[in-house]
Amino acid sequence: MYKAKNIDSCIQIIKRMLGDQSNELGSEQQKALCRVVGKLKKLKKQQNPSRDEVYRAVAEAAETVTKICNDPRPKRKSHS
């Protein structure tokens, strides 16, 4: 149960990134986040994932989010 709650928290954080209109993610970034959410959901469904499987899923999620947050491309200006 503890594992499932932690994975659910990660999924919710990533979904908020996807749904936040102020972050203006590109389509490739959105696809990458959706892939990570899918992998986390798959991990959550596994009965007894190995330590290596958990490490890989968490590392990929962290790497994806870090790349998006550190993207040097300027954000589009909003039309006010």
Residue 15 lies in a domain: yes
In a domain, 80, yes or no: no
How many domains does the chain contain in total? Answer: 1
Q: Is residue 53 part of a domain?
A: yes
Q: Can you give the pLDDT at residue 36? A: 95
Torsion sign, CA atoms 53, 57, 60, 62: negative
Domain encompassing residue 26: 2-69
Would you say residue 66 has pLDDT above 70?
yes
Other beta carbons within 10 angstroms of residue 79's beta carbon come to: 4
Taking CA atoms, 64 is separated from 25, 42, 58, in Å, by 13, 17, 10
Tokens 């990570």 belong to 36
In the chain, the percentage of residues whose pLDDT exceeds 90 is: 28
pLDDT attached to residue 37: 94
61 in any annotated domain:
yes
Predicted pLDDT of residue 18: 86
**What pLDDT sits at residue 77?**
47
In a domain, 20, yes or no: yes
- Rounded to two decimals, the pTM is 0.77
The answer to the question of residue 78 being in a domain is: no
Residue-wise pLDDT for 6-42, tens only, equals 888 889 999 888 887 776 788 888 899 999 999 999 9
